[in-house]
Chain A
Amino acid sequence: MSFLLTCPNCGAREVTDFGYGGEINPRPKRDPSFRELNAYNYFRTNTAGVQREWWFHRSGCRAWFYAERDTTTNEVLKTELP
């Protein structure tokens, strides 16, 4: 696995510069039930296709940002700051 990610601050870098933060799932609202918390913590949709995910520019500006990546081809469609 090897591809380029465009950090919104720094520009295109090797993927090994970044840390993967997992797919984006909506934060539960105030005072969630245990069931909601459980779902937030442990359930993943594991999309085969385009998914929105968190990335962390570990060896660069150390910013967390969003990326839209096709999980089947590793093509990165878009990156943006939250």
Chain B
Amino acid sequence: MSRLAPQPGERIDRSKTIRFTFDGKPVTAFEGDTIGSALYAAGQRTFSRSFKYHRRRGLMCVAGQCPNCICSVDGAPGARMCTEPAREGLVVEHVNATPSLEHDVMEITDRAGTKFTPPGFYYKTFIRPRKFWPLYEKILRNAAGLGKLREEQPEREWRTEYRRRHADVLVVGAGLAGLSAAIAAAELGADVVLTDEGPEPGGRLLYEGGHEQARSLTARAREAGVEVLCSAPALGYFDGLVPIWQGDTLHQVRARRHVLATGAIEQPLVFAGNDIPGVMLSGAVLRLASLYGVRPGDRAVIATTGERGVEAALALGAIGVEVLAVADLRRGPAGNDDRLREHGIEILHGWTVVQARGRAAVTGAVLEPLPGCPGHGSMRLELDCDLVVMSGGQAPATALVSQAGGSTGYD
């Protein structure tokens, strides 16, 4: 188990343990864990296999935004381990790997010569000679797809409750902005519904040291009469009607005003091997450490384009992860350089990670200066690490506003 000492504001309750199985092996988790955090704490690094070349996929975003940790839960495929809560007695199984996650025969498509499987080859390559197609088809049909449905579906035990809710204001996204908007509207006397896809309101505050602020804001919102819905993603916007899915309930919310505070999605960086297990987004390591008390790694290299990676470096240093270097794409000195140096972390301006090494998990990273920066072409740093943290900036989560027909702009 690679659990840290209890973290302030962590989501797990260490006094209550839960047992579930992953591919038949028992896994112990704490109340509040997700399947992904419990498995990561238990040492699992490969969570699924990629769709075509069956390359290993590890936890990357820990936010439900990427398909790296897709699995099957109690026979139902398509769950994401990083957001699916761990519950007693769950049967979790991997998808898209035969016979096992660690030994996948289809991995040969990634290893075999480049002539046989060039990047982007199509399974249609196998159509000739025509008379063998039925044979190919049988194999290829089995190779495709993520997960298997049960042959027999169990009797449908659950049913959907429909609930209609009329409100003055609907706020989607309960981060700092959404909470503040909901409180402001409610304190002016409006009837407000606040919804968030996460299990508790607070968004980034929860894992960036603002959990107390998040909880006091939530309490204030509840006091002001805001209806707070958690684990409740908004599904779309249809002529003013917003369906919100929460467990077995579909809230059909019609509000007179909508505030979409959906936040941002952290972007990865592009370098060779950026899909190897152990290459993670900065938000992912922060969530693992702060919410679930899981040590993301022992020796980390950080590649960033801005302050988020620097903050992650400081946070990792604070929990005892050895941060070998921070490669910052920004060329000049930035605000937190001194703080990094105080903690003995080396910051390399104008450098970036050009390659992550390793097969089953990250074993090292190669760093180089950018073109036009001192040392380009002559300097190169190879570091042994088991964690590469990347932060490629933030893209606003505009799916809902776009679907509603709105447009966005910077101000």
> Which of B238, B241, B252 has the most C-beta atoms of chain A within 10 angstroms of its own C-beta?
B241
Known pairs A14-B252, A14-B254; A2 contacts B238 (CB<8 A) = yes
Contact B239 A2 (CB under 8 A): yes
Interface size of B as a range: under 10
Number of A positions contacting B (CB below 8 A): 7
Known pairs A14-B252, A14-B254; A2 contacts B241 (CB<8 A) = yes
Q: Is B376 an interface residue (CB 8 A)?
A: no
Q: How far is the CA of A65 from the CA of B161 in the complex (A)?
A: 29
Q: How far is the CA of A4 from the CA of B241 in the complex (A)?
A: 10
Q: How far is the CA of A66 from the CA of B240 in the complex (A)?
A: 24
Q: Is A12 an interface residue (CB 8 A)?
A: yes
Contact B254 A4 (CB under 8 A): yes
Overall SS of chain B's interface: strand
Interface string of A7-32 (1 = CB under 8 A from B): 00000101000000000000000000
Q: Is A3 an interface residue (CB 8 A)?
A: yes
Q: Is B166 an interface residue (CB 8 A)?
A: yes
- For B111, list chain A residues within 8 Å (CB): none
Q: Is B359 an interface residue (CB 8 A)?
A: no
B237 (CB) vs chain A CBs: closest residue = A2
Q: How far is the CA of A2 from the CA of B164 in the complex (A)?
A: 13
Q: How far is the CA of A2 from the CA of B237 in the complex (A)?
A: 10
Contact A12 B166 (CB under 8 A): yes
Residues on A facing B (Cβ under 8 Å):
1-4, 12, 14, 74
Residues on B facing A (Cβ under 8 Å):
164, 166, 238-241, 252, 254
A-B contact pairs, 11 of them (CB 8 A): A2-B238, A2-B239, A2-B240, A3-B239, A3-B240, A4-B254, A14-B164, A14-B241, A14-B252, A14-B254, A74-B239
